């Protein structure tokens, strides 16, 4: 069962909402973030990414950062840029990009569900990033970036959410620079809140992390720390919950995640191709681009040419992880041929979201920024669920979800 509860959000006044919210994964570099924040004193970036206000601090765990973040949040509240909801509510959040639309429910989920394995993960987390997040949350007592959870479609929940917003004007409706349309409705009717809470508890036995592994891991660690300081172990303590937005899996879209590698590990192109042929069938492509259209098709751009790679049958296993193309590529090419044992730390490899297109891969190779690039077919939600249910993890940078959830649209104070 999935335990949810409504909460009293801090959210922007309508006239400020587009100034407050940020896309935390907008791929801007640090200098660009600082410049954007300097021009916008209302941005939640000053709270969730406080380093932008301290150009001379290099330590991401410096206490000054988190003290500043908390004070900045208090200033936004004091100036009435952010206002607190009068009663606990749920929120319906719809994101639309082109023809794709997804509608989720924003609320607070119980961290104990994560600790008991009812919230499934599919990625490893970096301990240093978790520690940094714990320090931030401990000082600010604020969650402004919801953990993105998915669940298997439940018709009754779809119907209840639809009824909650039917013929109602959203509280916010605006379009961000990336062309994504965002709409948020407030659910404050007690009967509808109770209905949704009961439906998730009765009909959703488990959920899956789509994005936010580090956030939920750090929030669980902080919850454990605060629990040890709570002698009464009160069931209603807010520190036992985290901010989330839950979406039915059938509405979500996973994009591919391409790889570029800076060099061929001291191999010539001829030697490299000979090594690749050990585990892959290779076909040179005559057309301009080659985008994989199904599982076990991998595109490779090398020396101004595209190649189609097909893994040989004896080169991979059929378990939930072994069958993934990202795993096949890592196990049979990136590691043994290019010497990239750990793609999460190796500086020679870089990752490009599939939304950027194949032209970005070509440019990196043609300009000498990379020696070779690989385009992959995106994994499916079913594959993600299978890996998580198997208790395993995917290789780093296996999935890219778009559109991205905005930070600062609602904030949960513990």
pLDDT digits (tens, 9 = 90+) for 93-115: 999 999 999 999 999 999 999 99
Q: What is the model's pLDDT at position 230? A: 67
**Pairing of the two strands 257-261 and 372-376:** antiparallel
- Copy the structure tokens of residue 227: 């629990």
pTM for this model (two decimals): 0.92
- Beta-carbon contacts of 140 under 8 Å, excluding residues fewer than 6 positions away, are 47, 66, 69, 70, 73
Tell me how far CA of residue 67 lies from CA of 47, 136, 194, 265, 317, in angstroms.
Answer: 10, 9, 37, 45, 50
**Nearest Cα to Cα of residue 355 among 403, 313, 319:** 403
C-alpha triplet 239, 244, 250: angle, nearest 5°: 155
Q: Give the C-alpha separation, 145 to 289, whole Å.
A: 37
Q: Is 391 left (phi over 0), alpha (psi -120 to 50) or beta?
A: left
Q: Domain residues of the chain, as ranges?
A: 4-253+402-413, 257-377
The answer to whether 68 and 50 have CB atoms below 8 angstroms apart is: yes
What is the structure's pLDDT at 57? 85
Residue 279 above 80 pLDDT?
Answer: yes
For the segment 65-92, the average pLDDT, to the nearest whole number, is 97
d(CA 357, CA 184): 30
Contact 387, 115 (CB under 8 A): no
Q: Which pLDDT score is estimated for 55?
A: 80
When pLDDT is averaged across residues 131-141 and rounded to a whole number, the result is: 94
* End-to-end CA, the chain: 23
The DSSP bridge pattern shows strands 280-285 and 372-376 to be unpaired
Segment 210-232 shows an average pLDDT of 88
Q: What pLDDT does residue 214 have? A: 94
Tokens of 222: 């902080």
**Digit-coded pLDDT (tens) for 227-253:** 887 666 665 689 999 999 999 999 999
**Cβ-contact 326, 395 below 8 angstroms:** yes
Residue 27 has pLDDT above 60, yes or no: no
Q: Any bridge partners for residue 309, and if so which?
A: 282, 298
Angstrom distance (rounded) from CA 89 to CA 80 = 20
Query: What single DSSP character describes residue 388?
Result: H
How far apart are alpha carbons 350 and 364 in whole angstroms? Answer: 11
CB under 8 A, 24+ apart: contacts of 273-276: 273/302, 275/336, 275/337, 276/300, 276/309, 276/333, 276/337
DSSP letter at 341 equals: S
CB 223 within 8 A of CB 111: yes
Q: How confident is the model at residue 212, as a pLDDT?
A: 94
Residue percentage of the chain with pLDDT more than 70: 97
Task: Note the pLDDT of residue 396.
Answer: 86
With bands split at pLDDT 50, 70 and 90, how would you rate the model's confidence at 32? Answer: confident
Q: How confident is the model at residue 338 (pLDDT cuts 50, 70, 90)?
A: very high
Query: Which residue's entry shows tokens 């040890």?
Result: 228
pLDDT value at 221 more than 80? yes
Report d(CA 59, CA 135) in Å as an integer: 12
Residue 121 clears pLDDT 90, i.e. is over it: yes
What is the SS3 assignment for 214? helix
Helix (H, G, I), strand (E, B) or coil at 372: strand
The answer to whether 310 and 280 are in contact (CB under 8 A) is yes
Find all residues with CB under 8 Å of 316, minimum gap 6, and list them: 322, 323, 327, 328, 331, 332
Query: What is the H or E stretch that residue 191 is in?
Result: helix 190-203
E strand spans, 171-256: 172-175, 181-187, 207-211, 241-248, 254-255
Residue 250 gets which letter from DSSP? G
Tokens standing for 96? 């639309």
Return d(Cα 198, Cα 9) in angstroms, integer: 21
d(CA 163, CA 361): 45
């Amino acid at each position: 069962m999935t335990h949810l509860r409504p909460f009293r959000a801090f959210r922007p006044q309508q006239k400020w909402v587009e100034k407050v919210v940020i896309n935390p994964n907008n791929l801007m570099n640090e200098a660009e973030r600082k410049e954007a924040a300097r021009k916008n004193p209302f941005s939640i970036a000053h709270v969730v990414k406080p380093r932008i206000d301290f150009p001379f601090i290099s330590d991401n765990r410096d206490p000054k950062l988190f003290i500043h973040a908390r004070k900045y949040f208090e200033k936004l509240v004091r100036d009435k840029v952010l206002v607190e909801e009068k009663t606990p509510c749920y929120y319906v959040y719809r994101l639309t990009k082109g023809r794709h639309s997804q509608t989720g429910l924003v609320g607070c989920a119980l961290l104990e569900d994560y600790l008991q394995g009812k919230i499934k993960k599919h990625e490893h987390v970096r301990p240093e990033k978790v520690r940094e997040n714990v320090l931030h949350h401990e000082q600010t007592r604020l969650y402004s970036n919801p953990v993105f959870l998915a669940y298997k479609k439940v018709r009754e929940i779809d119907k209840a959410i639809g009824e909650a917003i039917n013929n109602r004007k959203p509280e916010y409706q605006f379009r961000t620079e990336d062309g994504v349309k965002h709409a948020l409705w407030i659910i404050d009717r007690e009967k509808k809140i109770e209905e949704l809470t009961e439906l998730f508890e009765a009909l959703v036995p488990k959920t899956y992390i789509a994005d936010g592994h580090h956030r939920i891991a750090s929030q669980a660690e902080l919850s454990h720390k605060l629990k040890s300081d709570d002698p009464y172990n009160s069931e209603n303590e807010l520190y036992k919950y985290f901010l989330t937005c839950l979406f039915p899996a059938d509405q979500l879209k996973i994009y591919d995640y391409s790889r570029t590698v800076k060099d061929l590990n001291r191999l010539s192109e001829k030697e490299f191709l000979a090594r690749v042929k050990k585990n892959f069938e290779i076909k040179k492509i005559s057309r301009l681009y080659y985008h994989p259209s199904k599982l076990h098709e991998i595109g490779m751009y090398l020396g101004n040419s595209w190649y189609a790679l097909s893994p040989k049958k004896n080169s991979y296993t059929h378990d939930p992880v072994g069958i993934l193309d990202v795993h096949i590529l890592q196990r049979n090419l990136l590691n043994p041929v290019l010497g990239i044992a750990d793609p999460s730390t190796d500086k020679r490899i870089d990752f490009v979201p599939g939304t950027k297109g194949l032209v970005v891969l070509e440019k990196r190779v043609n300009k000498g920024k990379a020696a070779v690039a690989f385009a992959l077919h995106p994994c499916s939600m079913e594959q993600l669920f299978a890996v998580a249910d198997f208790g395993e993890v995917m290789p780093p940078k296996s999935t890219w979800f778009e559109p991205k959830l905005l930070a600062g649209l609602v904030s949960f104070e513990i």
